């Protein structure tokens, strides 16, 4: 057997954690921090002003639905993080997940905040748009940072091992450099 097949068999035998289990753990961590950040920011006086401008204060919307939204966004960020680290393993998981959180923030801003603020919003829409973006920036970026840190803490040894494997799957050593 060649080096490639030996290395692949060794990695399978090592018993790396499966993708669904990693995805579940990272999604849960990201969703919970998104939810906790939503609750914390909803208690601020400026959040009451923001909700009053759009008449959307209901405990279910702010505190309950944000858990499901956080789990959904956390799942997306976690899945993309796990897939990107499999393709290019030398990346820092925290930085990658924060970038993915920022991308999710941009998508949510375009799909939710822009229409809400400028199409249906009050006369001082820019003021409330900025408040919404700031609140969302805290939630999305903290979600990304927590997902990345969880990955680093829980699966760091697997990630560190994968760095020693070349893109073609061959082990890098003094005599076998790609």
Residue range 74-122, pLDDT digits in tens:
999 999 999 988 787 667 999 999 999 999 999 999 998 888 877 766 6
Is 58 domain-assigned?
yes
Is 39 domain-assigned?
yes
What pLDDT is stored for residue 58 in this prediction?
Answer: 73
Is 169 domain-assigned?
no
State how many domains the chain has: 1
Give the range of the structural domain holding residue 52, as residue numbers without chain letter: 19-163
Measured in degrees and rounded to the nearest 5, phi and psi for residue 93 equal -60, -35
Please tell me the pTM assigned to this model: 0.75
Is 71 domain-assigned?
yes
Is 61 domain-assigned?
yes
The pLDDT tens digits of the residues spanning 53-77 come to 877 667 777 888 999 999 999 999 9
| Tokens 């002003």, located at residue | 49
| Cα–Cα distance, 145 to 78 (Å, whole number) | 11
The pLDDT tens digits of the residues spanning 126-176 come to 888 999 999 999 999 999 999 999 999 998 745 444 444 433 344 444 444
Is 83 domain-assigned?
yes
């Amino acid at each position: 057997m060649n080096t490639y097949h030996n290395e692949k068999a060794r990695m399978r035998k090592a018993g790396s954690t499966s993708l669904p289990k990693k995805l579940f753990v990272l999604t849960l961590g990201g969703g919970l921090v998104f939810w906790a950040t939503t609750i914390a920011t909803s208690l601020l006086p400026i959040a009451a002003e923001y909700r009053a401008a759009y008449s959307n204060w209901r405990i279910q919307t702010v505190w309950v639905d944000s858990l499901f939204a956080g789990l959904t966004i956390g799942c997306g960020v976690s899945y993309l993080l796990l897939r990107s680290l499999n393709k290019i393993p030398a990346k820092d998981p925290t930085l990658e997940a924060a970038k993915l959180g920022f991308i999710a923030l941009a998508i949510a801003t375009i799909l939710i905040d822009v229409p809400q603020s400028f199409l249906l919003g009050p006369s001082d829409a820019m003021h409330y748009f900025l408040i919404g973006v700031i609140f969302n920036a805290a939630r999305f970026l903290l979600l990304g940072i927590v997902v990345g840190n969880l990955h680093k803490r829980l699966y760091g040894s697997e990630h560190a091992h994968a760095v020693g494997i070349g893109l073609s799957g061959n082990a890098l050593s003094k005599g076998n450099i790609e």
